Amino acid sequence: MDNASPRAATTPIRTPDGVGLFHRDWGEGPPVVFVASWSLPSDSWAYQMLALSEAGCRCIAYDRRGHGRSDDPGRGFDFDTLADDLAAVMEALDLRGAALVGFSMGTAEIVRYLTRHGTSRVARIALIGTTTPMLAHAADNPLGVDPAVFEAFRREALMRDFPGWIDDSMVPFVTPDTPPGLRNWVRDMALRTSGQALLACNRALTQADFRAELPALTVPTLVIHGECDVTCPLDLTGRPTAALIPGALLSVYEGAPHGLFLTHMQRLSADLLAFARDA
C-alpha cells in the first residue's frame, strides 16, 4: 500500500460496553496511535498523521466516545472507561510495539491505559501539552486551579455559550500569525462534539490526580510542552509530569502556546517521527 493512501476504516471498533468508535488508519510501518484532546476528534491530528504516514509510519487515530463520528452513549467518560476504549482500539487492530501520542486530555488517557492495561503493546509514549499530573488546587498541589473556577466554566460557559468561550480562548490557544482557516477548523471540530461528552470529560479531567501513576510508567517517554501554554501551564503540568516519570525527556517549545500541534506543526511532526523511529 502507498503510505500516502488511507486504509479503509468504515467499520467501527466496538468497546466492551458496545460503543462504536470511528477510527482512521493511514500508511504502513511502525504503528503510531494518536489520542486527541478534550473536545477534538481524530481529524485534529491530520497534519501530524500526513507527515508521519508519508515518512513510513502507520498512523492510527480514533474519535473518543461522544466526539467526531463515534457513538455518543451519554456515559463512560471516566478515565477507566476511556482507557478501556483505547485498549479496544489497540486490540482490535492487534497493534504491537506502538508509539502512543496524546495531546492535552489524551495524555491522561494514555497514562491510565498503561497503568490499567500494561505495556505489552506499547514501545514508547509522547505526551504533548499534558494535563497531568493534576490540574486542581490542593494543599499539596499549590499551583493548581481552584476547583470553583472549573465549576464556573462548566456552569457559565460550557452550558450557556460554548461557541463564545471558544472564540475567547482561541487567542491564547494559538499565536497571532496562526491563519484564520486553521482557527476556524479547530472551532468547527469542537462545536461538533456532544455537549454531554464535553461536560463529563471536563469534569473527569479537572478532578483527576495522576501523581501516583506517573512514577509507575516504564516505557520511554517524551514530554513536549509550550513555554507559553496558558491552558496547561508548564510548571503545573509538563515539568512535574516529566519529573515524575522515570527517565522522561522534557522538550519545551520556546514561545509556543497550548495549540502547538497547529502553531509548531512541522517541528512537532519531525520530533514525533524521530521519537517513533528511535530504537
- Where in the sequence numbering do the catalytic residues fall? 104, 229, 258
Q: Which residues contact 240 (CB under 8 A, 6 or more apart)?
A: 133
Sheet strands side by side (includes 58-62): 6-7, 23-26, 58-62, 31-35, 98-103, 122-128, 221-226, 249-253
Q: Dig out the grid coordinates for 154 from the structure.
A: 462548566
Q: How many residues does the chain have?
A: 279
Cα end-to-end distance, the chain, whole Å: 24
User: Which residues, 6 or more positions from 161, have their beta carbon under 8 angstroms from its beta carbon?
Assistant: none
CB atoms closer than 10 angstroms to residue 137? 17
Q: Cα–Cα distance between 277 and 279 in angstroms, integer?
A: 6
